Amino acid sequence: MKDQEKDINELTVDEYLKIEKDILLKVEQ
């Protein structure tokens, strides 16, 4: 179970970074 939770957390961080990038790009435009 712990390994699964770790994978989910890593995916969440990756998604968060993608969203943050999109926001920064929108702000620059």
Please report the pLDDT score of residue 11 as a whole number.
76
Distance CA 23, CA 17 (A): 10
Please report the pLDDT score of residue 24 as a whole number.
95
Please report the pLDDT score of residue 1 as a whole number.
58
Please report the pLDDT score of residue 12 as a whole number.
87
Q: Which two tokens mark 19? A: 């969203």
Please report the pLDDT score of residue 22 as a whole number.
96
Continuous segment of H or E residues that includes residue 3: helix 2-28
Amino acid (1-letter code) at residue 26: K
Amino acid (1-letter code) at residue 15: E
Task: Enter the pTM of the model.
Answer: 0.50
Summarize pLDDT for 1-29 with one digit per residue, the tens. 577 777 767 778 889 999 999 999 999 87
